[in-house]
Amino acid sequence: MTEEQFFSSIGRTVVLVDDPEPPLAFYRDVLGFRVLHDRTVDGYRYLHIGLPGPHPAGLWLMPATGEAERALVGRQTGDQPLLVLYTDDLDAVARRLKSHDVPVWNERRDPDSRSLHFRDPLGSTLIAAQLTPAGG
């Protein structure tokens, strides 16, 4: 059986929010995301954010509707990370987070990477990771 490729990339992943402004400010002003799409249609805001560059994958900051969704804000992935973000300079990321009073923990060095954990304003855990070059 041959493998077929049906998709070319990941577009958006949904992040439930009560109010999109605090997470937008954090992802934009602290982490360097940019607004990819922001339009309100029939009272519903479609706010997509992502990293600068050629890759269109991003986050859809989607307003939670109903009690069940509101209970998931900041806990969509349970105790697991919401995102792993790759960087070429983990030390600069750590300095940036700390300069914005973002708590950082679980700083570690593994054979193939260095990483640290932090939280967004919703309470979701994120990981910043710097991959170790092969042979390095």
Architecture of domain 12-131: Roll (3.10)
Can you give the pTM of this predicted structure? 0.90
Report domain extents, the chain: 12-131
pLDDT in tens, 22-62: 999 999 999 999 999 999 999 899 999 999 888 778 999 99
What is the chain's alpha carbon radius of gyration, rounded to the nearest angstrom? 17
Distance, CA of 69 to CA of 55 (rounded, Å): 29
Q: Is 87 strand, coil or helix?
A: coil
pLDDT in tens, 101-132: 999 999 999 999 999 999 999 999 999 999 99
Tokens encoding 46: 């479609």
Length of the chain (residues)? 136
Residues 6+ apart with CB under 8 A from 101: none
Q: Identify each DSSP E strand in 18-88 by its residue range.
A: 34-41, 44-50, 58-63, 83-86
Closest by CA to 33, choosing from 72, 83, 74, is: 83
Residue 104: Cβ within 10 Å count:
15
Distance, CA of 56 to CA of 49 (rounded, Å): 9
Distance, CA of 2 to CA of 46 (rounded, Å): 38
Q: Identify each DSSP E strand in 4-96 by its residue range.
A: 12-17, 34-41, 44-50, 58-63, 83-86
Whether the per-residue pLDDT at 4 is higher than 90: the answer is: no
